[in-house]
Amino acid sequence: MTQEDVKHWFDALSEGNVTPLTDRLTGDCVLEFPGSTFGGEFRGSRRVRVFLRQNQRLFDGGLRFTLHWVMVTDAAAVAQWTNAGRTKQGSPYANRGVTIFRRRGEKIERIEDYLDTEILARTWPGRGHSEPADDAPEPA
């Protein structure tokens, strides 16, 4: 995992393309958002892929990321970012955060996403993350 890999993943996410990132996930990977209302874990590469796709679809034209710095070690990569978009309901959205990618060999086994959940709560009052059902069809 290199700084260029991480930059490529965020650039691809900004274009609505989750494949460069999800192709690097272990089958048992975990995506975690700490917190109660908007927190939770998505377990397994399929659930992580479905969540990432669904998340982009909450925005008109997707959610655009700007990377501010990336650090890579033998065990992990850390990226600080800001993002911006417009919700399907027409509300502007912008947030900031840090994502940690933990690796096992050449694959990602865990993603921890730390962001301002108060912004999420203001943007989508009364809603939180929900895991896709086991039998949920995968978006095209």
Q: pLDDT tens digit string along 1-29?
A: 999 999 999 999 999 899 999 999 999 99
Which stretch of 31-35, 63-67, 126-130 has the lowest confidence by average pLDDT?
Answer: 126-130
Which stretch of 93-97, 104-108, 112-116, 129-133 has the lowest confidence by average pLDDT?
Answer: 129-133
| 134 belongs to a structural domain | no
| 88 belongs to a structural domain | yes
| 136 belongs to a structural domain | no
CA distance 66 to 49: 21
Q: For the chain, how many structural domains are there in total?
A: 1
Spell out where the chain has E strands: 25-33, 40-43, 64-72, 76-86, 92-104, 107-115
Assign residue 102 the CATH number of its domain.
Answer: 3.10.450.50
Phi, psi at 38, each rounded to 5°:
-110, 15
Confidence at residue 138, expressed as pLDDT on a 0 to 100 scale:
47
Kindly report, residue by residue over 91-111, the tens digit of the pLDDT: 899 999 999 999 999 999 999
| 138 belongs to a structural domain | no
CA distance 65 to 114: 14
| 139 belongs to a structural domain | no
Confidence at residue 130, expressed as pLDDT on a 0 to 100 scale:
44
| 29 belongs to a structural domain | yes
